[in-house]
Amino acid sequence: MSTIRIDGLHKSFGKLEVLRGIDLVVDPGQVVCVIGPSGSGKSTLLRCVNLLEEPDSGSIRVAGVEVTDPDCDIDAVRRGIGMVFQQFNLFGHLTVRENVTIAQRRVLKRSRAEADRIATVNLDRVGLADKAGSYPAQLSGGQQQRVAIARALAMDPQLMLFDEPTSALDPELVGEVLAVMRGLAAEGMTMLVVTHEMAFAREVASRVVFMDGGAIVEEGPPATVFGSPREERTREFLHRVL
Ligand code: ADP
Ligand code: MG
């Protein structure tokens, strides 16, 4: 069963048609990287997967569950999906440890001891076990984004969505976040990643999806999409960003 299966997804904001019939499959253990110009609908696509945006038509299945079905328990589906945004959205008044335990305790009803144990495991995974007692403002942007990743991982997601997770970072901090994501990919985490980091996509992606104007123009293995793109629009885009 595919982790994500999207068929004929359409989404408009008023008169603006932002997604014009998207079909996309992400299978377990795959890393699918979505690239494309600003405004092409990448974030909207990601946000439709956990219904942060409501699709107008089409179907989205997450691990076989039709999230667009009105009877779907969307909270249960969301619990299985970790999401990491460009902005880290950590709670500034909570320590790193508390940021990583709060949803575990409130949503998964884990005990404090269990949540703390799992926080330690996941902070270790992102290389920040020594920062558990710090506050977000005491950390660099790269460290804050790694805390946000640990917080998502602590919920035991079956799928991770990343929306330009390194775009808000100073260039010298991008690498440490990409390294964590590479590690997750190597562990077999299923990931849908919107990114401008072409070297990351080329190296890590199982498949690269190029979007433009609300549609998937081209998709395939990174060597093909980057090395010998089929579509003129893909070539133009890559020429601009590479
Ligand atoms: P990308 O992530 O590829 O830059 P987005 O999915 O964020 O693209 O946006 C696609 C288009 O939809 C843009 O023109 C954007 O301005 C518009 N858009 C996104 N979200 C909203 C919204 N909530 N209301 C109105 N327009 C939106
Ligand atoms: Mg976006």
- Banded model confidence at residue 242, pLDDT cuts 50, 70, 90: confident
CA-nearest of 82, 106, 77, 80 to 94 is 106
Quote the crossing angle between the two packed helices 96-106 and 112-125, to the nearest 10°.
130
Q: Are 62 and 80 in contact (CB under 8 A)?
A: yes
What's the pLDDT tens digit per position in 167-212? 999 999 999 999 999 999 999 999 999 999 999 999 999 999 999 9
pLDDT score for 198: 97
Neighbours of ion ligand 2 (CB under 5 A): 43
What's the pLDDT tens digit per position in 4-36? 999 999 999 999 999 999 999 999 999 999 999
The token pair that represents 202 in the structure block: 């080329």
Q: What is the DSSP string of 161-174?
A: EEESTTTTS-HHHH
Strands (E), the chain: 4-13, 16-26, 31-35, 57-62, 65-66, 81-84, 159-163, 191-194, 207-212, 215-220
Global pTM value: 0.97
**Looking at this predicted complex, what is its ipTM?**
0.98
pLDDT score for 47: 97
Ligand 1 neighbours, Cβ below 6 Å, are: 13, 16, 18, 36, 38-44
Atom of ligand 1 nearest to the CA of 40: 3
What's the pLDDT tens digit per position in 55-93? 999 999 999 999 999 999 999 999 999 999 999 999 999
Q: Which ligand is nearest to the CA of 47?
A: 1
Q: Distance (Å, rounded) from C-alpha 5 to C-alpha 62?
A: 7
The residue nearest atom 23 of ligand 1, judged by CA position, is 13
pLDDT score for 24: 98
SS3 category, 40: coil
From the CA of 115, how far away is ligand 2's center (Å)?
32
Mean pLDDT estimate for the chain: 97
Residue 149 has pLDDT above 90, yes or no: yes
Q: Which of 40, 42, 44 to mutate to test the pocket of ligand 1 (most atoms within 8 A of CB)?
A: 44
From the CA of 112, how far away is ligand 1's center (Å)?
39
What strands lie across the sheet with 191-194, from one edge to the other? 81-84, 159-163, 191-194, 31-35, 207-212, 215-220
